[in-house]
Amino acid sequence: MIKILVTGSLGQLGRCIQDITDQYPDFEYKFVDVDELDICNKEQVQLFFDNYKPDFCINTAAYTAVDKAEEDSRKAFDVNANGAKNLAESCLMHNTVLIHISTDFVFDGTKTIPYNETDLPNPISVYGASKLQGERYIEAILQKHIIIRTSWLYSPFGSNFVKTMLRLAETKSVLNVINDQIGTPTNAYDLAGGIMQVIVKHVQLEKNSEAIQFYGTYHFSNEGACSWYDFAKKIFDINKINIDLRPIPTSGYPTPAKRPMYSVLDKTKFKRTFDFSINNWDKLTFKSKN
């Protein structure tokens, strides 16, 4: 049976993947978080791979505190870069396919049309730089890799923009939300389904030694584009919450880390390669979970 290892299993994406495993009963899954597998510990990673011998490793483990990373760059690079490197090295030794989750923050946001996979990364934050370094380590070490850049991830789990907006609406009658940063929300359940489609397609074509065509970098988010203000408005509309929502510029809400002003991702390559359709961002779904 095909073995799938998922790191960062207590995060948004890891928990969404766990939720849909019953749709893919032909695979064996091992979900681990930092308490069981610290990807920053090279020896621990090697030992874990020696014992479990996964066919696929989905790396959802990441340091995602974007603003905190500006003052804690060592930790951000340890997890996002060195952790990715450790996984790539163990994947190489065990002939494991690494599916690694990266971010739109590898771009500087100066474009005005969607970023594709051949656009030159130029991160403007420590978080973005650490994620880009992780990508580069993987590319240098391991041929059998699939890097998926995503953006504005939300789910019923953990901390994210949707949950923050709903929480703030419980105590506030007025909210100011940035309207000049443009990107695309990503439903973590949609991304989880996309990742599983990658594995299904890989398994199908590997029998004919054709899976090599899949390796490389892809972009995945929901379709369309919006501002954070548009996103918030949609959240309140579908939840029938009446609140005074006011658009403000980025300059009105300064943060330690710079954000790309435009980070819409072009998903054409992913959709064509894996024969996968992607929902528009405004088909917002949010299941109530802890």
- Token pair listed for 260: 């790309």
Q: C-alpha distances in angstroms, 2 versus 96, 102, 122, 199? A: 11, 24, 37, 10
How buried is residue 120: exposed, middle or buried, by Cβ count under 10 Å (0-12/13-18/19+)?
A: exposed
Active-site residue flag, 127: yes
Q: Can you name the residues that pair with 262 across neighbouring β-strands?
A: 182
Q: Which domains does the chain have, with CATH numbers?
A: 2-158+185-224+264-274 (3.40.50.720)
From 29, 52, 63, 127, the catalytic residue:
127
List the pLDDT tens digit at each of the 290 positions of the chain: 999 999 999 999 999 999 999 999 999 999 999 999 999 999 999 999 999 999 999 999 999 999 999 999 999 999 999 999 999 999 999 999 999 999 999 999 999 999 999 999 999 999 999 999 999 999 999 999 999 999 999 999 999 999 999 999 999 999 999 999 999 999 999 999 999 999 999 998 876 666 678 899 999 999 999 999 999 999 999 999 999 999 999 999 999 999 999 999 999 999 999 999 999 999 877 654 44
Specify the DSSP element, H or E, that contains 232.
helix 228-238
What are the E-state strand segments in 90-215?
A: 97-103, 145-150, 153-154, 174-178, 182-183, 186-187
Global pTM reads 0.95
